[in-house]
Amino acid sequence: MKVLANDGIAQSGIDALEAKGFEVITTTVAQNQLENYINTNNIDALLVRSATQVRAELIDACPSIKLIGRGGVGMDNIDVDYAREQGLHVINTPSASSHSVAELVFGHLFGMVRFLPDANRNMPLDGDSKFKELKKSYAKGKELKGKTIGVLGFGRIGQATAKVALGVGMKVIAFDPFIENATITLDFHDKQTIDFDIEMVSKEELLKQSDFITLHVPAQEEFVIGKPEYDLMKDGVGLVHAARGGVINEVELVNAIESGKVAYAAIDTFENEPTPAVQLLMNNRISLSPHIGAATTEAQDRIGTELASQIIDLLG
């Protein structure tokens, strides 16, 4: 059987599939050429990440496809229900990248509270001539320890983020419309474990109580964070968005930064990928990354292995 990993797959996944007799093709085929390529090469399984769209029209046009796989969590670029109605297997890897996203959230948080994104912009320009001025500018950093972090969306990634927060010494509160009670387990390198009961609160209470807010929700038709939500937040709040593009109102975020409501902001996923709004890119109070939450070697290895295992079970 032939597997087209159109957006790539880790070598761990290739090795596992080839060991079971699958042919793995890692050619990146342009969206407008995908139908022809799949049919010409009689592809059995199509693996994608966020770049490739798998809509009903493509599914109808490619009868050889038996399985569609998404390397990652969100599947908003796939017509999942339609594909399953047509008898196709649709798989993803919901837990493989959770910790990688959580670490990116804290990479942004640590950088934000110590002004590192702006310092890294200005030190190469003025570090030799305005060292004392820059030192004074960045002298009012904050610690994360002891602060309250609100986790908006408490699935696998939200829980992984909460574990890092607890390790840092933060108080964690969370909101998820589908979860009433939550206990998470911290695992340490020496095999010790500690269970923590997480305080689940309403969305409104989370917005009001949190010193920092991190979003881990799926794509939605409406903004999860818009002007009414910004208005409820503490003055000087920090916000990290590493969920799905379009979850937050980016225009209102800029307004909230300019008014002082939001003191720190970080964005990894954007409404208009791959061309984010210029007012976000040029704002020196926003910590930016180009949708790299799952982009660690370890996560990609786990994703590849997990996809391969599912494909072997379903098609092998």
Per-residue model confidence (pLDDT) at position 74: 82
Burial class of residue 145, CB neighbours in 10 A (0-12, 13-18, 19+): exposed
Average pLDDT per 10 consecutive residues for the chain, totaling 316 residues: 96 97 97 98 96 97 98 91 98 94 98 96 96 97 98 97 98 97 96 97 98 95 96 98 96 97 97 95 95 94 96 95
3-state secondary structure of 68: strand
* Domain boundaries of the chain, sorted by first residue: 2-94+297-315, 98-288
Q: CB neighbours (10 Å) of residue 240? A: 25
Per-residue model confidence (pLDDT) at position 42: 98
Query: Catalytic annotation on 156?
Result: no
Does an H or E element contain 165, and which? Answer: helix 156-168
Cα–Cα distance, 18 to 146 (Å, whole number): 49
pTM: 0.90
Candidates 241, 244, 250, 302; catalytic one: 244
Provide Rg for the chain, Cα atoms.
22
Candidates 216, 291, 302, 306; catalytic one: 291
Cα–Cα distance, 118 to 202 (Å, whole number): 34
- Token digits for 85? 């109605």
Query: Catalytic annotation on 273?
Result: yes
Q: Do domains 2-94+297-315 and 98-288 have the same CATH topology?
A: yes
Cα–Cα distance, 196 to 156 (Å, whole number): 15
Please provide the CATH number assigned to the domain covering 98-288: 3.40.50.720
| CATH architecture for residues 2-94+297-315 | 3-Layer(aba) Sandwich (3.40)
Residue corresponding to tokens 């196709």: 88
Query: Catalytic annotation on 291?
Result: yes
Q: Are 80 and 48 in contact (CB under 8 A)?
A: no
Candidates 199, 205, 271, 273; catalytic one: 273
CA distance to 11, 43, 276, per residue, from 305 (Å): 9, 20, 32
CA distance to 48, 85, 98, per residue, from 173 (Å): 34, 38, 18
Q: Are 46 and 66 in contact (CB under 8 A)?
A: no
Per-residue model confidence (pLDDT) at position 260: 96
